[in-house]
Amino acid sequence: MATRESVDTLLQQCEDAIRFAGDQLQDGRLQEHYNDDGYSNALEALENAYNDLSQLAHSANSQQREQLHRMRLQLQQLQNKMIINPH
């Protein structure tokens, strides 16, 4: 079973990845192709956070799974936005 602390820690990591990716998306809009490394790193951070959420969900209770699912949707939404919007 997932501990509350492990869920909270992972959710904080996901929020950090979202914040970083949001900054890179904004920078990408301003700098176009001059920010490829940061943009790629942000996409990788989102993917890693998504995978970590999926792993932890297997050992979470129903309330924790709901929290993790909501965060997973936020990660997917930002990933899609970064992939669809050219930088």
pLDDT tens digit sequence for 75-87: 999 999 998 876 6
34 and 24 Cβ atoms separated by less than 8 Å = no
User: Tens digit of pLDDT for each residue in 23-53?
Assistant: 998 887 777 667 688 889 999 999 999 999 9
More confident residue, 30 or 9: 9
More confident residue, 38 or 22: 22
| Residues 51-77, mean pLDDT to the nearest whole number | 95
DSSP assignment of the chain equals ---HHHHHHHHHHHHHHHHHHHHHHHHHHHHGGGGHHHHHHHHHHHHHHHHHHHHHHTT--HHHHHHHHHHHHHHHHHHHHHHHS--
How far apart are the C-alpha atoms of 34 and 79, rounded to whole Å?
19
| Residues 50-79, mean pLDDT to the nearest whole number | 95
